[in-house]
Structure formats: structure tokens, C-alpha cells
Amino acid sequence: MFKPRSGELVRRVRMGESSLAEIAKRHRWAVELLAPRRGESVLEIGCGHGIATGLVLKAGADVVAVDRSGKMVAACIRRNEGLGRLTAFESDFEELDLGRFDAALAVNVDFVRHEDRGWARAFGKAVTAGGRIVLVLEAPTIRTADRFALNAAASLAGMGFEVDTQLGEGMVAVVGRRR
């Protein structure tokens, strides 16, 4: 399990209720596909305001959330106070060595649209054998969905994941399990 180092944004909060705003379908779908379990360690990339983070915490999993924006990291921490154990980082995911996780997810992070910084390799290092990964993208067009699904699935397969793709209402998911 991930052990935080000193100087990092760390928030340990007691289990409780939170006033989560209305949850977008993409967040619900991603967490349903991930199916987090109590006591698991889950890595979330591109945590944004922490909507999916809250759903994972409510399932009883511990979450390490990463976002490039300090404002989003702070919003994620504020939104999820009282829901469980949350550790949050402002950083590029590919540059961190966070240890190993039972599962990982990213919602609306279009890894394949930009220059490859080694995102698939980083997930390959972070997710344990038998661990799960879910990438969900709300795609404006079927062309965007196809591009994302095909490229993300191929990249993850190259890192030792068995992958499948699924279409939702205006969304696509790449779901994998680490061999």
C-alpha cells in the first residue's frame, strides 16, 4: 500500500457523509465499471473536483488522487472531507512513483490525444497483478471515441493488461485487468 512522504498534501478524514453535488453519468459509469471494494487502494488520475473520488471513497477504498492543477487538487480534498482516506498530489502522473495499487481510474483524461509521456507505462508500474483499470472519456463524436478506445486499449495491452472497450451514452470506456 502507498505510504505518503512528508511535505505532501495528505488528508486523512473520518468516514462520514458528504454533500456531493449531482454526479455526472461519466463518473458513475467509471466507478461502476471499476467496482471498488472496501480496503482497496485506488489511484485516480485527473481527479478534477473529486466527484469520482468521492464515489470510490464511499465504497470504502483508499484513494490517491493526482491532478496537474493545484486548484483541482484542493477542490477534490474539500469536496471529499469526511469520506475516507484520501491522499492528493498536484503533479503530472507520469513523473510520480506512488507505489502499487489494486485499481486505477481516469475520467475524461484523453491520454492518447497529446504527446505520449509514458502514461501506459506508468499505469503498468502502478497497478498490481490482477488489478483493474478503467478509463472513461465523454467523447463528442464517434471518431473521438474510436481513436481513444483503440489507442488506449493498444497502449495498455502493450503494458500487460487484458483490455476491453465499451460504449455508453456519448461515452467510451477502456477496461482492463493487469496480467
Q: pLDDT digits over 121-175, tens only? A: 999 999 999 999 999 999 999 999 999 999 999 999 999 999 999 999 899 999 9
What average pLDDT does the segment 52-58 reach? 98
Residue 1 belongs to a domain? no
Contacts of 40-44 with C-beta under 8 Å, sequence gap 24+, read 40/102, 40/103, 41/1, 41/2, 41/100, 41/101, 41/102, 41/103, 42/101, 42/102, 42/103, 42/104, 42/105, 43/98, 43/101, 43/103, 43/104, 43/105, 43/126, 43/127, 44/104, 44/105, 44/106
Query: Quick one: average pLDDT of 52-72?
Result: 98
pLDDT of residue 23: 81
| Tally of domains in the chain | 1
Q: What's the mean pLDDT when you consider all of the chain?
A: 88
In a domain, 119, yes or no: yes
Is residue 111 situated within a structural domain?
Answer: yes
Above 60 in pLDDT, residue 4? no
Q: Is residue 149 part of a domain?
A: yes
Residue 139 lies in a domain: yes
- The answer to whether residue 19 scores a pLDDT higher than 90 is no
The pTM assigned to this predicted structure is 0.86
User: Would the pLDDT of 117 be above 90?
Assistant: no
Q: Which domain holds residue 34?
A: 10-178
Query: 10 Å Cβ neighbour count for 50?
Result: 30
Domain annotation covers residue 2: no
In a domain, 31, yes or no: yes
Domain CATH for 161: 3.40.50.150
